[in-house]
A and B are shown apart, each in its own frame.
Chain A
Amino acid sequence: MKNNPLSVAVHRIRRAPYQTLAAVAIMTMTLFIASIFFLVAAGSQAVLKYFETRPQVNAFFKQEIVPTPQAVDLIKAQLDSTGLIQSFKYVSKEDALQIYRDLNKSDPLLLEAVTASMLPASIEVSTKNPKDLTIIADQLKTQPGIEDVRFARDIVDTLAKWTGSVRVIGFSLVGANVFITFTIILLIIGIKVANRRDEISLYQLLGATGGYISAPFVWEGILYGLTGGLIAWTASFLILLYSMGFLVSFLAGIPLLPPPLWFMFSLLGGELLLGSLIGGFGGLLAVQRFLKA
């Protein structure tokens, strides 16, 4: 018996391999673009968040100075008294060397050339409110032994602009592709509906409901979406794995990669859902247009 709409859909898909190929190809392309933009957007958002939560003001002591604990405590007490700071961290010359070693552990030549005495001690301060950065920075500049004060705000602002642009471009491109894919799925399933015009008319005469007639076409669209989603996700995951080495060194010190498994599986779920919705609605609309006519 062929009354199961899913098996009817599978049967029809197998009977039209080229139409299936076209439908899956366009679906895969759209979902692949969607997943790449999603990964770029999520990555840049994570980088932005990383910088936002980093100590936002770095004050470096002169290289020849080794601040005493009392001097550091004094600076901390003065900053605490403003009530504006969230965290205060003193990074000694030895700590700086350790950070340097961690960042360059794959390059022994760089490690050999640097000693603790070559690196400055520093203070990392984050504020509760970004607008108070200037006050803290000004105060740090007046402290004895401080040579340089750096803000993270400029980085964050630039990054925020980039992230915003990535989102706008991504949404526009993915939106346009989703529309094109929906139209093509509508067209492909519409052709199949038209080819089965007599069969559908017979179903109606025999008392079939709209749901009974539509279900196999909706399933067909969903299967295109699921297949396209799975291929697109696999491709984007493989590309991510392939680029991991380069990306890890590019994002030195930012703990972003490898992405957690739950994140990648959420991406898979999202792609399958998006693909199913595009395909399912495409199939439904194609057959409903015929039934209404």
Chain B
Amino acid sequence: MITAQHLSKKFGGISALDDVSTTIESGEFVFLTGPSGSGKTTLMRLIMRELKPDAGKLILTGPAKIHEYRRTIGMVFQDFKLLADRNVWENVALPLEIAGIKPADVETAVKKALELVDLTARADLFPAQLSGGELQRVAIARAVVTRPKLILADEPTGNLDPKTARSILKLLSTIHSQLQTTVIMATHNAGLVDHSDKRVISLQAGRIVKDTPKGKYEE
């Protein structure tokens, strides 16, 4: 569970988040929407403990040490952030290597994650040899390989065509329902949000302007 109480964050005097209060329950799928600069990424960075709030309180469950806490979270980025000199298998295995998991367990977990995103046949290819949709699926496999309790997806469909974007959302929804993972997805894609029937938190100028259980995209 994530609880934000009167959360505020400023960058050089400019308010990125202003008095934000909300609760996200375990197992929820939540869209964060709003225009650029509305505070979506700032909220995610606070949840990742990349930033500290200037005011208010953010209550997060998980280990106290930052590196241990981050191992309990899966991250998906708009620009994929895959390592160009590692193949698909090695990119997916990276969080497990970092966590010091035994090679035999890494083997099993990576295999399952690649099956989940339907990329087993592409395991030996390098990022430069993949399409945009495939790259994002690799990034999702990397995010779920540790079986995290929370997935933060920051504009994961931003660089993809509408059809591929829908397939990525479908994949995230499958992971959410199959693994009971909490998913927080920041997006600009109105079509995806409107067809999903999921909770939508709309941000504007750092403030929550709307929070509806089965919401629609609003600018």
Contacts and interface: CB of A to CB of B under 8 A. Distances in A.
Could you say which interface size class chain B belongs to? 20 to 34
A205 B50 CA distance: 8
A212 B90 contact: no
Contacts of B94: 206
Contacts, number: 39
Contacts of B48: 205
Interface residues of A, number: 14
B83 A199 contact: yes
B214 interface: no
B128 to A, nearest CB: 16
B95 interface: yes
B70 A1 contact: no
Contacts of A202: 81, 83
Of A1, A198, A204, chain B has the most CB atoms within 10 Å of the CB of A1
Contacts of B208: none
Contact of B68 (A1, A207, A212): A207
Interface in B58-116: 67-71, 75, 81, 83, 86, 90, 93-95, 97-99, 103, 106
A205 B45 CA distance: 10
Nearest to B63: A207
B98 A1 contact: no
Nearest to B143: A206
B18 to A, nearest CB: 25
B81 A212 contact: no
A151 interface: no
Interface in A179-237: 198-199, 202-209, 212
A79 to B, nearest CB: 76
Contacts of A208: 67, 98
B98 A212 contact: yes
B70 A3 contact: no
B98 A203 contact: yes
A2 B91 CA distance: 10
A122 to B, nearest CB: 75
Contacts of A2: 86, 90, 97
A19 B106 CA distance: 34
A203 B95 CA distance: 8
Contacts of A1: 90, 93, 97, 103, 106
Interface string B99-139: 10001001000000000000000000000000000000000
A3 B97 contact: yes
Nearest to B83: A199
B97 A205 contact: no
Given A2-B90, A206-B75, A207-B71, A198 B81 contact: yes
Contacts of B50: 205
B67 A209 contact: yes
Contacts of B99: 207
A209 B68 CA distance: 9
A255 B46 CA distance: 73
Given A1-B93, A2-B90, A206 B70 contact: yes
A212 B68 CA distance: 13
Nearest to B71: A207
A205 B75 contact: yes
B199 to A, nearest CB: 25
B85 to A, nearest CB: 8
Of B48, B70, B106, chain A has the most CB atoms within 10 Å of the CB of B70
B70 A207 contact: yes
A243 B81 CA distance: 58
A1 to B, nearest CB: 6
A10 to B, nearest CB: 14
A151 B137 CA distance: 89
Contacts of B95: 206-207
A206 B98 contact: yes
Contacts of B97: 1-3
A171 B98 CA distance: 43
Contact of A207 (B81, B93, B98, B106): B98
A212 B67 CA distance: 11
A265 B86 CA distance: 41
Contact of A206 (B71, B86, B103): B71
Interface in A49-108: none
23 contacts: A1-B90, A1-B93, A1-B106, A2-B86, A2-B90, A2-B97, A3-B97, A198-B81, A199-B83, A202-B83, A205-B70, A205-B75, A206-B70, A206-B75, A206-B95, A207-B67, A207-B69, A207-B71, A207-B95, A207-B98, A207-B99, A208-B67, A212-B98
3 A-B pairs closest in CB distance: A207-B71, A207-B70, A3-B97
Interface of A: 1-3, 198-199, 202-209, 212
